[in-house]
Structure 1
């Protein structure tokens, strides 16, 4: 049974219909290989997800909910020091599809890229997946597998009693009281309140992600030389159609958008070329990312028998979806095997 107001209802079609939900306000950037670390939990999760993503797309792709991986991703170096780190990273991973491109070897593009002046790193296998198309594909898969869906929220969790069959109780916003064998909490910022009543302190802070949709004054020539994702100073630029562009980043703490921060993002910290400054704003939307406090993201924990936490992915919810799902599946299998 899935209790989720988002996946249990139709997925929004337009940016104007997106709410503060992190998934519907995401750009779906997958930066798993162009990651500076080469060890540790964060690195392993990224690597596992990038391994799983092609199979996920193949399984979820359907005429009613088409899905594909858009590649590559290019990061512009913002300084000589960053360029050196990129060169070292590409040299250290010869089989990962990473390549550093010196500034004087960057090809011509239409429209021109921001001129950071220090070269760039190409990641052939990184890129993006459209998050709304992903949600539609997941929803279709849920329906195909006859998963019961509830378009409501869980407002309280109650521990199993002392009966032979130890079941959790879910109290929902529509007044239901459900008995279940196992609970997986994956409700981002909403996870904290559910866990507090059980004595589990997992505070998370809201960080605002913003996206602008811009229309160029003159059509681009099929975005010649552009990757699926161009990253400049932590800000993502994504071609969208012949003459439209998305610009997005997760930069602001709190829940309210700061117009000054939005303008700084649009101007790419004063690196925006003239065509970008002249582009027409068609719309903007934002969503909240859940960043764990004093703990690394994401939170993947078995808190009690039958209670799993898979939340707090911060900026990497879409990227880490396959690895997270695999972790949950393994723990559900373990729980099933060890249950009386």
Structure 2
């Protein structure tokens, strides 16, 4: 249930394991858009696709393990998904600018501890010269050679194509209700869809973000999630003979990502706003990078703007990866890391299903 990046990635992975998979989501009625535009999108199509695994501050816990697992899988996934009709690539590196001497020291320590993971601290004089100057708070930066981004729209197209090629079935409808099957039924679960179909299945995997709760609440599973809105700007530079030479795939300044695309354009985002209504003042602050933006960025023309909703679990860390009961699996609430954690989440679901088949539970 749910054809965002996590749901589609999980469907593709399960089909590769030999399972017969039906992917259910009304968004499947439309092709994945070629580019984002001025509209509200879901979490996947609104995402910037940033992969920050190795530059993650923590070095223990579930979040760290999931990031490391995904980063170990991404190169192989992109290689397997890349196709002439749905090209896909990893874009690297990622650079984080330090906002203070204290943050710079933490970055130095992190780079020292993770030299084998492609991390390097850049002192201020060592920042590469560029025709288009970076924002420079003056405290140096952390360079991560292996982090970066993957285009989420290209990823969705590649996943859909690969899933269909594996024989996966896609239904453009809504799952309205889940019911446990009685003894002797066809499969453990019945899925009732909005178009009147009744699906008999052995397992249900719920990846429906904010829609997940309404599917599991009637079954006695309380996993509330809240909406967190993010706004993104598409900017066009006005300075003459612009160049992105020596720019990383992702430059992060004060928690805001700057991502070049095309000769004169870039994406800038994203805000973190509780609720479902965007705040225009936060967009203005984002464009100035809280007064750290160089003149060319302040003068850039806004040619597009969009916003998306992320699902953040309440009172629990993201994401929610739970085998709720036999054949009922929750892989949702990834908050801002759905693209990054898609490979690890898909592998976890595959392990749960294979384990339940072996044990009969």
* Superposition TM-score, scaled by structure 1 size: 0.97
Asked if 1:171 is matched to 2:187, the reply is: no
Q: In 2, distance between residues paired with 1:13 and 1:265?
A: 25
Cα contact 2:187–2:200 (8 A) shared by 1: no
1:92, CA displacement in angstroms?
Answer: 0.9
Greater mean deviation of Cα atoms: 201-210 or 68-77: 201-210
Q: In 2, distance between residues paired with 1:295 and 1:212?
A: 30
Which residue of 89, 92, 108 corresponds with 1:68? 89
Asked if 1:288 is matched to 2:297, the reply is: no
Which residue of 61, 65, 74 corresponds with 1:40? 61
Cα contact 1:210–1:285 (8 A) shared by 2: yes
Cα contact 1:219–1:243 (8 A) shared by 2: no
- Match of 2:326? 305
Asked if 1:261 is matched to 2:273, the reply is: no
Asked if 1:119 is matched to 2:140, the reply is: yes
- Match of 2:108? 87
Aligned residues: 340
How large is the RMSD of aligned CA atoms in angstroms?
Answer: 1.4
1:275, CA displacement in angstroms?
Answer: 0.5
Q: In 2, distance between residues paired with 1:148 and 1:9?
A: 15
Which residue of 233, 250, 264 corresponds with 1:229? 250
* Superposition TM-score, scaled by structure 2 size: 0.91
- Match of 1:197? 218
Cα contact 1:16–1:283 (8 A) shared by 2: yes
Cα contact 2:186–2:201 (8 A) shared by 1: no
- Match of 1:5? 26
Task: Kindly provide the CA deviation profile for residues 190-239 of structure 1, in whole angstroms up to 9, marking residues without a partner as x.
Answer: 00111111110101111112111000013554312210000001100000
Which residue of 22, 36, 41 corresponds with 1:20? 41
1:146-225 alignment, distance < 5 Å: 146-163=167-184, 165-218=186-239, 221-225=242-246
1:28, CA displacement in angstroms?
Answer: 0.2
| Unpaired segments ≥5 residues, structure 2 | 1-21
Q: In 2, distance between residues paired with 1:225 and 1:71?
A: 12
What secondary structure is seen at the aligned counterpart in 1 of 2:177? strand
Q: In 1, distance between residues paired with 2:36 and 2:115?
A: 39
The runs of 4+ residues in structure 1 deviating greater than 6 Å are: none
Greater share of helix: 2
Q: In 2, distance between residues paired with 1:25 and 1:209?
A: 8
Q: In 1, distance between residues paired with 2:157 and 2:229?
A: 24
Q: In 2, distance between residues paired with 1:3 and 1:41?
A: 29
- Do the aligned partners of residues 29 and 51 (structure 1) sit closer, same or farther apart at CA in structure 2, a change above 3 Å counting? same
Cα contact 1:87–1:100 (8 A) shared by 2: yes
What secondary structure is seen at the aligned counterpart in 2 of 1:242? coil
Cα contact 1:207–1:250 (8 A) shared by 2: no
1:319-330 alignment, distance < 5 Å: 319-330=340-351
1:251, CA displacement in angstroms?
Answer: 1.1
- Match of 1:276? 297
- Match of 1:140? 161
- Match of 2:269? 248
Greater mean deviation of Cα atoms: 192-201 or 11-20: 11-20
Task: Kindly provide the CA deviation profile for residues 246-292 of structure 1, in whole angstroms up to 9, marking residues without a partner as x.
Answer: 00124111111111111111111111111011111110111111111
1:160, CA displacement in angstroms?
Answer: 2.1
| Unpaired segments ≥5 residues, structure 1 | none
1:111, CA displacement in angstroms?
Answer: 1.2
1:94, CA displacement in angstroms?
Answer: 1.6
Cα contact 1:7–1:135 (8 A) shared by 2: no
Cα contact 1:19–1:286 (8 A) shared by 2: yes
What secondary structure is seen at the aligned counterpart in 1 of 2:156? helix
Cα contact 1:7–1:139 (8 A) shared by 2: no
